[in-house]
Structure 1
Amino acid sequence: MSEFNEYSSLSSVAVRDPVASFISDEKLNDEWKELRFHSKPQLDEAKKEFEFFKRLLIDSGTDVINLDAHHNLTIDSIYTRDSILISPGGLILCNMGRSSRTPEAKINYSSLKDLGCGIAGDIKAPGTLEGGDFIWIDKNHAAVGLGPRTNQDGIKQLKKILGNDVDLHVVPLPEPNHPDDVLHLMSIISPLDKDLALIYEPLMPQTFIDWLHKRSIELITVNEKEYHLMGCNVLATAPREIIMLEKLPKVQSLLEEAGCKIRTYKGDEISRKGEGGPTCLTRPIKRVL
């Protein structure tokens, strides 16, 4: 039976590697500035980083689904979390807040439907919703970020699709420094276990912290320096089994003190240049006990 949270054992996950997303130096040259990457990713190194990252997933016992290339996709499509949500009723296709990413949901679903994945619903304009703004706490509790990529209309549609059995907590997000920059809910929280989450407290509304405490969730706080190095973006492949970016010694130490098993990857080309950590690089399809 599928589990709806962000920490149970990751059974299957969809990814799109740099071969299918970055494609070529020419495509990277054309898109990296407009999409506000910090600098142009180096394609050969990106391929090496991703193969190492993918091996971490496979070694954790996860079935990795490779999403295809498509001429309507941008280099942002390496961040597969954002276009689709999972729910008890099936997949939810997002209407992306960044218009250049609008085609992703249907293109990604075309790869997943052959696996027997049905659709519970899709978010329609003027509603917007991105997967990085949504987390499952458990099958009856979830949170969604209200911000530049996910709007009130998208959340209204999401609530209707999820139904009355899900307590959906809305988290107001601060405005990013630039309107085209991304600040997702998962930029400031990563669940690690049923009773543990990693957060960046300065951007967390007190109402959200209180809601998490009511769920008996202990919070580990990332410091400002490591937050800006993407220290709050970590992926649980099982309870307290974590994949995270390297060069985050304080976060890693705090997680290890909490009993977490840590594996790291480099990620300079596939993560830090595009502000997309391990949660962004993965679209979990199924988690199990």
Structure 2
Amino acid sequence: MNYGCQSMVKKIDTIMIKRPDAAFVSQENLNATWEKFKYYGCPDYEKVLEEYAEFEKIIKDNVENVYYLPYDERTGLDSIYTHDSLKVTSKGAIYFPMGKELRSKERLATEEFLTANGVPTLGYISAPGKMEGGDVLWIDEKTVAIGRGYRTNDEGIRQFKELTKDFIDEYIVVPMPHGDGEETCLHLMSIISFVDTDKAVVYSKYMPVFFREYLINRGIQLIECNDEEYDYLGTNLLALEPGKCILIEGCPDIQKKIEDAGVIVYTYEGKELSYRGTGGPTCLTCPVCRK
């Protein structure tokens, strides 16, 4: 397996995803567990399969190497969102403990799979450190922004810096707002997604002024998402390559703005697959290698 992914927009060469049958398993399993995982209603399993097939086709049409995480009894519904339990650097994978107790063993299953497929382990974020993949945003290969919130704490950031200090030049710590509360999954990548080297979809209402100004000063065009579409994961996009991305269907305003900026947008219906568990196309994927 090719590895090394210190970019949010370079062309994805290798990706890791997990099919619904390996994460959601069945309607019976969803019925029994969705409330524990704090989903917005119980997903319809048959509809999930339809939505995932549409999403998966976009991935396979655009990514050469697609790997599938298998079912693992240590994981639950949220393991379909493969982005959160790790980051893959040019030196190997860094695994995160996850703030949600029900997800605490996901990294074990993921590490076993990636190690078996040739991706070395660079290290771990250990308690009392906390970190999740959605809080780690590559600005470029030598610059990383990290959201400091309820899912990623100061000790987690310190450990991440120690593991990456030999190949990262700049760390930008971005304080995250309280938002809708401690239990809400609010990551840095909940409010910003790069769709090209110089374009990003943002929800500025939750963005610190210094970070917004930093992006503008770097020449990044900020494409603003409105409140309604932010609530429907309109800022959670996956860049397949510069100028080509995936967005959940149902966000026409931000889709038009992105397309007007010259970016190709693929969409998939994702109410049951993504919205119910607040996991958009970025969350559903773990790019292992971008070139």
TM-score (norm 2): 0.96
Give the conservation status (yes or no) of the 8 Å contact 2:7–2:138.
Answer: yes
Aligned letter for 1:93? Y
Q: Does 1:137 align with 2:139?
A: yes
Q: Does 1:284 align with 2:274?
A: no
Could you tell me how far 1:176 is from its partner in structure 2?
3.8
Cα separation, 1, equivalents of 2:89 and 2:43:
33
Quote the residue 1:90 is aligned against.
Answer: 92
**CA deviation map 1:229-270 (0-9, x unaligned):** 111111110101011111111111101111001110001111
Quote the residue 1:188 is aligned against.
Answer: 191
Quote the residue 2:22 is aligned against.
Answer: 20
Give the secondary structure class of the aligned counterpart of 1:80: coil
Could you tell me how far 1:177 is from its partner in structure 2?
2.2
Quote the residue 2:227 is aligned against.
Answer: 224
Give the secondary structure class of the aligned counterpart of 2:88: strand
Give the conservation status (yes or no) of the 8 Å contact 2:5–2:88.
Answer: no
Structure 1: gaps of 5 or more residues: none
Identify the match of residue 155 of structure 1 among 157, 164, 170.
157
Could you tell me how far 1:89 is from its partner in structure 2?
1.3
Quote the residue 1:56 is aligned against.
Answer: 58
Q: CA RMSD in A?
A: 1.3
Give the conservation status (yes or no) of the 8 Å contact 1:139–1:166.
Answer: no
Quote the residue 1:213 is aligned against.
Answer: 216
Cα separation, 2, equivalents of 1:90 and 1:214:
31
The runs of at least 4 aligned residues of structure 1 exceeding 4 Å deviation read none
Could you tell me how far 1:221 is from its partner in structure 2?
0.7
Quote the residue 2:258 is aligned against.
Answer: 255
Quote the residue 2:127 is aligned against.
Answer: 125
30-39 or 258-267, larger mean C-alpha shift: 30-39
Could you tell me how far 1:3 is from its partner in structure 2?
5.4
Quote the residue 1:40 is aligned against.
Answer: 42
Give the conservation status (yes or no) of the 8 Å contact 2:13–2:290.
Answer: yes
Give the secondary structure class of the aligned counterpart of 1:145: strand
Give the secondary structure class of the aligned counterpart of 1:202: helix
Cα separation, 2, equivalents of 1:211 and 1:158:
22
Give the secondary structure class of the aligned counterpart of 2:54: helix
Aligned residue pairs, count: 288
Could you tell me how far 1:213 is from its partner in structure 2?
2.4
TM-score (norm 1): 0.96
Give the conservation status (yes or no) of the 8 Å contact 2:4–2:288.
Answer: no
**CA deviation map 1:116-136 (0-9, x unaligned):** 100111100000110011111
Structure 2: gaps of 5 or more residues: none
Identify the match of residue 204 of structure 1 among 202, 207, 212.
207
Cα separation, 1, equivalents of 2:276 and 2:38:
9
**CA deviation map 1:106-125 (0-9, x unaligned):** 10111111221001111000
Quote the residue 1:241 is aligned against.
Answer: 244
